[in-house]
C-alpha cells in the first residue's frame, strides 16, 4: 500500500507540475494523524516558491478521490496525511497463517552475507561476542523476511599473538597442575572453556611483565604459523575444544552459520594481496614491515605485515573479503562489529577500495556499542571477563524468580513441572537479554539492568512474551489458532478497536524500515507500542462476554496481535511461550 500512496501523491503533483520525478517520502505518524504522512508539500513550496498549504490541499483533494482512501487531509504547516479504508486494512490483515504478516519482496533477488559474532579462539565467549551475535542474527532474519537471500558468516581468530599467549599460559598451567591433553579432553565443555580463559589471562598478564616469557610467546607465534610439530597437538586440540564450546553457545542462542572463516586461512590470502600490491605502490615497506600509509588519505598508518613476515589482523581482513565473495557472490557484505574498532576498519576498507573497488562498494559495517553490567568492566587480560554464559545463566535465574512472583508459584511447595518451568525461564531470560540489547538502537553503549530486563511490565522482552501469553489464553478458551474476519461496511468499531487495527496495519512497513535502516530497534519499538495498544484494548473491552460480530472482531484483533508479536519477536531472535 505504501507504494500505491506514493504513486497517488506523485500523480497529484504531476497534474500541475508535469516534470516532477522525485521520489515521494512517507512516514508513519502517530495514530491520530493517519496511517501515512508526507512532507512533500513543504519541499515543493520551497522549491517552487508557492504557498505550502495550497500545495498540500491540492494533493490531499486529489488523493482523497481514490477508492481505497478513507480520508486525506492537509495539516499545517503542510503535511499530507492519509487514512486507509478499513476494508483495505482488514484485507491486508486477513493473510493465511502460513504467510508472514511482516513479509515483503522489497529485497527480492538481493544476495547478502552477514558476518557476525567473530570470537577469538582460546578466550571466553564474552558479552561483546554475544551482542554481535544478537544484532547479526536479528538483521539476518529481517533481511530474509523482506525477500533477500542471506548467508550467515562467522570469522574466527585462530592465529596471532593472542593464540601464542594462550598456548604459553596453557603449557604453564599444565606443568603446574600436572595436566595433559588427554586429561583436559575428558573435561566437560564448560570446564575446558574455563581452562582456556584462565590460560589466556595468565599468558597476557605475563607477556606484559616478563621479557623472557614475551620472547617465548613470540617464538610460539612463529611455530603456529609454520605448523611446528612441538606445538601442533596442543594447538589443534585447543582449536577443537574452542569450536565445540562455541557451538554450545550458538545452539543456546538459536543461531547457526552457513560459513565459518578462520584467520589462518585468510591470512595467507591477505599476505599475498599485500605483497602483490606492494609492487603497485599501495603498500610501503617500513622498518622491515609492510604498512599502508593512511595519512595520504586523511587516515592513519597501519601495519599489514609485521617485521617477522607474518600477516596482521589488517592483512587477514583484507584476505577475507574475496574469500567470502568466492564462496557466495554477494550484492552486499555486512559486517557486525564493535564500535571501538571503527577507525581500524576505515583504514582496511580504504586499502580494499584501492585494491578491489567493487568489493569495497559492496561492503559495509554495523558498529555496535559496548555492554556494561553492574559487576563492572570486563577484561580478558585481567581474567575477569564477563562471559555470555554467565549473563545468560544469571538472567535465567532472575527470570525464574520473576515468573514465580507473577504466577504465585513456589516450586518447593507446589506440584509443578520444575524442568518445564526452568525451560520457560531460559526462553524468558533469553528474551530479556536480546530485547534489552536491541531496543535502543545499536550504536551506543548499553548498561544491562537485570531488574528492568526481566520485568513483566514496561519495555522488556518478557512483557511482550506475557502479552502473547495473554492473547493465547483468550484464544484457547475459544479453541482458536487463526481466523478470517469478514468485514462489512456497517461494522461499528470503538476508538480502541480502531486504534489497534490501524496500528497492526503498520507492521509490514516497520519491518521494511528496519531492513533499510539496518536497525532492529524499529521492530522492538513497534512491538512494545503494539503490546501497549492491545493491553489497553484488553482492559477496557470484554472479549469473551461480547457477542456476534463484535466478539468476532475482538477475537480477530487478538489473533492478529498474537501473530504479529510472535513474528516480530522471531525477527529479534526471540521465542514465545504458550504459558508462564
pLDDT in tens, 484-535: 788 888 888 898 999 999 999 999 999 999 999 999 999 999 999 999 999 9
Per-residue pLDDT band for 407 (boundaries 50, 70, 90) equals: low
pLDDT at 377: 45
Which stretch of DSSP H or E encloses residue 501?
A: helix 495-505
pLDDT at 443: 82
Out of 344-358, 398-412, 486-500, 542-556, the most confident range is 344-358
pLDDT at 411: 45
Mean pLDDT of the chain: 91
Indicate where the chain has its CATH 3.30.1360.70 domain(s): 2-84
Residues 6+ apart with CB under 8 A from 275: 290, 305
State the CB neighbour count (10 A cutoff) for residue 287: 7
Range with the poorest average pLDDT among 330-344, 377-391, 505-519, 566-580: 377-391
Residues 6+ apart with CB under 8 A from 128: 338, 370, 371, 378
Asked if pLDDT for residue 333 goes beyond 90, the answer is yes
Alpha carbon distance 276, 114 (integer Å): 28
pLDDT at 381: 40
Place of cell 596482521: 312
Find the distance separating the first CA and the last CA of the chain, reported in whole Å.
37
pLDDT at 380: 41
pLDDT at 460: 95
Asked if pLDDT for residue 448 goes beyond 70, the answer is yes
Place of cell 612463529: 222
Per-residue pLDDT band for 413 (boundaries 50, 70, 90) equals: very low
Indicate where the chain has its CATH 3.40.50.620 domain(s): 116-372
Is the pTM above the cut of 0.85?
yes
116-372 has CATH 3.90.550.10 classification: no
Per-residue pLDDT band for 287 (boundaries 50, 70, 90) equals: very high
Per-residue pLDDT band for 78 (boundaries 50, 70, 90) equals: very high
For residues 381-408, average pLDDT: 79
State the CB neighbour count (10 A cutoff) for residue 262: 18
Range with the poorest average pLDDT among 435-439, 477-481, 516-520: 477-481
Cβ–Cβ < 8 Å for 318, 348? yes
For residues 137-143, average pLDDT: 98
Per-residue pLDDT band for 3 (boundaries 50, 70, 90) equals: confident
Beta bridge partners of 371: 446
Superfamily of chain region 435-571: Isoleucyl-tRNA Synthetase; Domain 1 (1.10.730.10)
Out of 3.30.70.120, 3.40.47.10, 3.40.50.300, 3.30.1360.70, select the CATH number for domain 2-84: 3.30.1360.70
Asked if pLDDT for residue 375 goes beyond 60, the answer is no
- Which has more confidence, 111 or 369? 111
- Grid cell locating 517: 535502516
Asked if pLDDT for residue 379 goes beyond 50, the answer is no
% the chain with pLDDT above 90: 72
pLDDT at 408: 64
Closest CA to 138 of 150, 125, 127: 150
Per-residue pLDDT band for 124 (boundaries 50, 70, 90) equals: confident
Closest CA to 137 of 334, 415, 352: 334
Indicate where the chain has its CATH 1.10.730.10 domain(s): 435-571
Beta bridge partners of 72: 82
Amino acid at each position: 500500500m505504501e507504494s500505491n500512496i506514493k504513486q497517488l501523491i506523485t500523480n497529484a503533483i504531476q497534474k500541475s507540475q508535469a516534470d516532477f520525478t522525485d521520489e515521494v517520502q512517507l512516514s508513519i505518524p502517530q495514530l491520530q494523524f493517519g496511517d501515512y504522512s508526507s512532507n512533500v508539500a513543504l519541499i515543493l513550496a520551497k522549491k517552487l516558491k508557492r504557498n505550502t498549504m495550497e500545495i498540500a490541499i491540492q494533493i490531499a483533494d486529489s488523493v482523497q478521490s481514490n477508492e481505497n482512501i478513507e480520508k486525506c487531509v492537509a495539516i499545517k504547516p503542510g503535511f499530507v496525511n492519509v487514512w486507509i479504508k478499513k476494508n483495505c486494512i482488514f484485507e491486508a490483515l486477513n493473510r493465511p497463517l502460513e504467510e508472514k504478516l511482516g513479509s515483503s519482496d522489497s529485497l527480492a533477488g538481493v544476495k547478502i552475507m552477514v558476518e557476525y559474532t567473530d570470537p577469538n579462539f582460546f578466550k571466553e565467549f564474552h558479552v561483546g561476542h554475544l551482542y554481535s551475535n544478537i544484532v547479526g542474527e536479528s538483521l539476518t532474519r529481517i533481511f530474509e523476511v523482506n525477500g533477500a537471500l542471506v548467508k550467515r558468516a562467522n570469522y574466527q581468530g585462530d592465529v596471532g599473538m593472542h593464540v601464542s599467549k594462550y598456548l604459553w599460559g596453557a603449557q604453564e598451567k599444565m606443568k603446574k597442575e600436572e595436566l595433559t591433553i588427554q586429561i583436559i579432553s575428558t573435561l566437560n565443555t564448560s570446564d575446558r572453556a574455563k581452562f582456556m580463559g584462565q590460560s589466556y589471562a595468565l599468558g597476557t598478564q605475563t607477556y606484559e611483565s616478563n621479557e623472557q616469557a614475551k620472547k617465548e610467546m613470540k617464538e610460539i607465534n612463529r611455530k603456529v604459523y609454520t605448523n611446528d610439530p612441538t606445538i601442533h597437538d596442543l594447538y589443534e586440540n585447543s582449536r577443537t575444544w574452542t569450536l565445540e564450546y562455541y557451538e554450545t553457545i550458538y545452539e543456546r542462542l538459536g543461531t547457526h552459520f552457513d560459513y565459518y572463516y578462520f584467520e589462518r586461512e585468510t591470512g595467507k590470502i591477505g599476505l599475498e594481496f599485500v605483497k602483490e600490491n606492494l609492487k603497485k605502490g599501495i603498500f610501503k615497506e617500513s622498518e622491515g614491515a609492510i604498512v599502508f600509509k593512511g595519512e595520504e588519505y586523511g587516515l592513519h598508518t597501519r601495519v599489514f605485515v609485521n617485521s617477522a613476515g607474518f600477516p596482521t589482523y589488517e592483512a587477514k581482513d583484507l584476505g577475507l573479503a574475496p574469500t567470502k565473495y568466492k564462496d557466495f557472490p554477494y550484492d552486499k557484505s555486512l559486517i557486525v562489529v564493535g564500535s571501538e574498532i571503527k577507525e581500524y576498519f576505515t583504514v582496511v576498507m580504504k586499502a580494499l577500495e584501492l585494491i578491489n573497488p567493487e568489493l569495497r562498494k559492496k561492503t559495509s559495517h554495523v558498529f555496535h556499542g559496548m555492554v556494561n553490567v553492574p559487576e563492572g568492566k570486563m577484561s580478558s587480560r585481567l581474567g575477569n571477563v564477563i562471559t555470555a554464559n554467565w549473563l545468560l545463566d544469571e538472567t535465567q535465574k532472575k527470570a525464574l524468580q520473576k515468573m514465580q512472583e507473577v504466577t504465585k508459584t513456589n516450586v518447593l511447595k507446589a506440584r509443578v513441572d520444575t524442568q518445564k518451568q526452568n525451560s520457560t525461564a531460559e526462553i524468558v531470560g533469553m528474551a530479556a537479554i536480546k530485547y534489552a540489547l536491541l531496543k535502543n538502537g545499536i550504536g551506543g553503549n548499553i548498561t544491562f539492568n537485570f531488574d528492568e530486563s526481566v520485568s513483566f511490565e514496561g519495555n522488556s522482552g518478557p512483557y511482550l512474551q506475557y502479552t502473547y501469553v495473554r492473547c493465547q489464553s483468550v484464544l484457547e478458551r475459544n479453541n482458536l489458532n487463526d481466523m478470517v474476519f469478514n468485514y462489512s461496511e456497517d461494522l461499528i468499531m470503538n476508538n480502541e478497536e480502531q486504534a489497534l487495527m490501524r496500528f497492526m496495519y503498520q507492521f509490514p512497513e516497520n519491518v521494511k524500515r528496519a531492513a533499510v535502516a539496518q536497525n532492529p530497534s524499529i521492530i522492538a519499538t513497534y512491538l512494545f507500542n503494539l503490546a501497549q495498544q492491545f493491553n489497553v484494548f484488553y482492559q477496557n473491552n470484554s472479549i469473551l462476554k461480547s457477542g456476534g460480530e463484535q466478539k468476532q472482531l475482538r477475537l480477530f484483533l487478538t489473533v492478529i496481535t498474537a501473530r504479529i508479536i510472535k513474528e516480530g519477536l522471531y525477527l529479534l531472535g526471540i521465542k514465545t511461550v504458550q504459558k508462564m
